[in-house]
C-alpha cells in the first residue's frame, strides 16, 4: 500500500452527497482521489474542494452501471495516480413512490446502479488488489440494508442485495486468508442533494426521515472505516443503531410502526415541485453543482455520539472496567 500521505483512493458517486463528503475527507489526509460520477459540474466543484483540502483530484465521468466504463476509470486512475489503495462504492439513484407506481424499467435502473454498480466496480478492482496483495473496499450501505421502509422499495431492495453480496464476498476473502479487506458502513438519514433530484411520485416534497445528519458525518465514517477495515461493518448514528436493534428484536412491531409513520415522515408539508430535476437516467448536476449538502441543513446534525462510541469501544470498555473496579473497591472499603 502507498504511504498514508500518498494513498490513492477512488470514490464513486463523488459529485455530491456522501461520495463528495468522503472524497474531501480523504483529501484532508493528503490522498490522491479519483472522483467518479456522471455530473460534470458536480465533479469539477468537488475536484476544487479536494485540492483545497490538501489532496489531488482526478475527475472521471462514468456510469457505474456500465462495467466497461468502470474498468476504463480504474485504468485511467492507476495510469495517472498509481495503484488504488482504497475503493469506495457510493453511487446510487432512487425512485420515491409506492411500489405500484414504479415502472419496470425504473426499478431495473435503480437496481443496476445501486446494486450492480457495486458488484461491477468490485469485480473490476478486486483482481488488481489481489495481484498486488493489498487493498480495501468500502461499501456505503444504509439502515435500509436491513430494514425496508415504504415508498423506497427499489432502493431498499438494492441495499439488502448489497448487504448479502458484502457478506458473501467477505467470507470468501476470510476463507482465502486474503490481505484484501472489505467493510460496509451503514448510514442514517443524510442531508444530501438526492431529495432535490430524485424521481418522485409523492404528493409532497421528499425528505430524509429525521434525525438527519450532515454528509460530513458520513464522510468521516467512511474514511475511518477505510483506515480500520477489519470490522465487518460500522453503524453511523443513534437512529441506525436503534432501528437495527429494534428490527432484530421485534420486526413485526416495527412493520406496523412504519405503516403508521413511514409515509408522512418522508414528506414535507410542501407540494412536490413538478419541475424538479431527475437524475435517474441522466445526471442532474451536469451543468449545475448541487454541493455535498441538501436542503435540510437547518435540521441536520454535525456529529454523532454513537459513531464516536463505535470507533472508540475499546476506550469505553476500559473506562467501564475501570469504573466497575472503582465501585467494587469502594464497596469493599465500606464493608
Point out the residues that are catalytic.
155
- How big is the CA angle at 136 (ends 146 and 309), to the nearest 5 degrees? 55
Nearest-5° Cα angle at 48, 56 to 135: 35
C-alpha to C-alpha distance for 14 and 27, rounded to whole angstroms: 13
Give the E-state strand segments of 46-107 in sequence order.
Answer: 56-61, 86-89, 95-96
313 CB-near residues (< 8 Å, 6+ apart): none
For the residues of 153-177, what is the DSSP string, one character each? HHHHHHHHHHHHHHHHHHHHHHHTT
C-alpha cell at 100: 405500484
Q: Is 214 helix (H, G, I), strand (E, B) or coil?
A: coil
**φ/ψ of residue 138, rounded to 5:** -115, 120
Sort strands 86-89 and 8-12 into parallel, antiparallel or unpaired.
parallel
Amino acid at each position: 500500500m502507498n504511504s498514508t500521505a500518498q494513498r490513492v483512493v477512488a470514490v464513486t458517486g463523488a459529485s455530491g452527497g456522501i461520495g463528495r463528503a468522503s472524497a474531501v475527507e480523504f483529501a484532508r489526509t493528503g490522498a490522491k482521489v479519483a472522483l467518479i460520477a456522471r455530473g460534470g459540474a458536480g465533479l469539477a466543484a468537488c475536484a476544487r474542494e479536494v485540492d483545497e483540502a490538501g489532496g489531488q483530484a482526478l475527475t472521471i465521468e462514468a456510469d457505474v452501471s456500465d462495467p466497461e466504463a468502470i474498468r476504463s476509470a480504474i485504468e485511467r486512475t492507476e495510469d495517472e495516480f498509481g495503484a488504488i489503495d482504497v475503493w469506495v462504492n457510493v453511487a446510487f439513484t432512487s425512485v420515491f413512490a409506492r411500489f405500484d407506481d414504479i415502472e419496470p424499467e425504473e426499478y431495473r435502473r435503480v437496481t443496476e446502479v445501486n446494486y450492480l454498480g457495486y458488484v461491477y466496480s468490485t469485480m473490476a478492482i478486486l483482481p488488481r488488489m489481489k495481484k498486488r496483495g493489498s487493498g480495501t473496499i468500502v461499501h456505503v450501505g444504509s439502515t435500509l440494508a436491513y430494514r425496508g421502509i415504504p415508498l423506497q422499495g427499489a432502493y431498499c431492495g438494492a441495499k439488502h442485495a448489497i448487504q448479502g453480496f458484502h457478506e458473501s464476498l467477505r467470507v470468501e476473502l476470510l476463507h482465502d486468508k486474503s490481505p484484501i479487506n472489505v467493510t460496509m458502513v451503514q448510514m442514517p438519514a443524510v442531508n444530501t442533494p438526492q431529495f432535490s433530484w430524485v424521481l418522485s411520485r409523492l404528493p409532497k416534497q421528499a425528505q430524509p426521515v429525521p434525525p438527519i445528519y450532515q454528509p460530513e458525518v458520513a464522510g468521516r465514517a467512511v474514511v475511518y472505516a477505510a483506515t480500520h477495515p477489519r470490522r465487518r461493518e460500522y453503524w453511523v448514528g443513534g437512529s441506525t443503531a436503534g432501528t437495527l436493534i429494534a428490527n432484530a428484536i421485534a420486526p413485526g412491531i416495527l412493520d406496523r410502526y412504519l405503516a403508521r409513520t413511514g409515509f408522512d415522515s418522508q414528506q414535507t408539508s410542501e407540494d412536490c415541485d413538478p419541475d424538479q430535476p431527475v437524475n435517474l437516467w441522466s445526471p442532474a448536476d451536469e451543468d449545475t453543482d448541487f454541493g455535498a449538502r441538501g436542503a435540510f441543513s437547518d435540521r441536520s446534525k454535525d456529529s454523532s455520539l454513537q459513531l464516536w462510541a463505535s470507533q472508540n469501544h475499546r476506550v469505553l470498555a476500559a473506562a467501564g472496567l475501570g469504573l466497575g473496579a472503582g465501585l467494587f473497591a469502594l464497596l469493599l472499603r465500606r464493608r
